Copies of this chain bind each other. A is one copy, B any other.
């Protein structure tokens, strides 16, 4: 999750953990004020009260820094057990929407995703520190729904994995598209409508498995 943890040796002066936190916070502040393209590492260093060289010793460049800074915003994501699959979906959607309502997330996330289209290592970093953490919510919610009997217990592991991937892309994609492209609020009404369509689609497809879903 951190820069790269270069096998911390027992000797020598240790790296300042406070500097890491200050740099990531300064990065988010700069994202709010300047956006992605105008954000500069020299400015981040000044905001954090840190020399520019220190920043380059910990992160390879702008991309990796912003990924780590944005990833911390998703730490608060939890799966709320509200008793029903519908309530759980709606809760996750609203949590995700609340994060995307913050300007530092809006400005930073798309920027790193744009660069990840050409950078395999960056894409893997995003997957590990942001995407996989989100996908686990879908896995957990699905497991709980199966325990409640709202969904059939388990299928072929391969089709189950594809179903999780599909639901994840639908939920996360819809929220991101709503917030960042359509630029309209993902409020409770909208989350309810999304949940209704999604739930009918999932349970209906599960009850009528004429194919793989």
Contacts and interface: CB of A to CB of B under 8 A. Distances in A.
A147 interface: no
Counting every copy of the chain, the complex holds 2
Contacts of A106: 117
Interface string A190-204: 101110111111101
A117 B180 contact: yes
Contacts of A208: 200
Contacts of A111: 110-111, 114
Nearest to A197: B201
Given A36-B115, A177-B173, A205 B212 contact: no
A118 interface: yes
Given A36-B114, A114-B107, A169 B174 contact: yes
A113 interface: yes
Contacts of A37: 37, 62, 114-115
Contact of A205 (B114, B180, B182, B200): B200
Contact of A170 (B62, B117, B197): B197
Interface string A150-183: 0000000000001101111110111111101111
Interface in A89-118: 103, 106-107, 109-111, 113-118
Given A36-B114, A118-B35, A213 B184 contact: no
Contacts of A126: 181
A197 B192 contact: no
Interface of A: 35-37, 62, 103, 106-107, 109-111, 113-119, 123, 126, 131, 162-163, 165-170, 172-178, 180-184, 189-190, 192-194, 196-202, 204-205, 208, 211-213
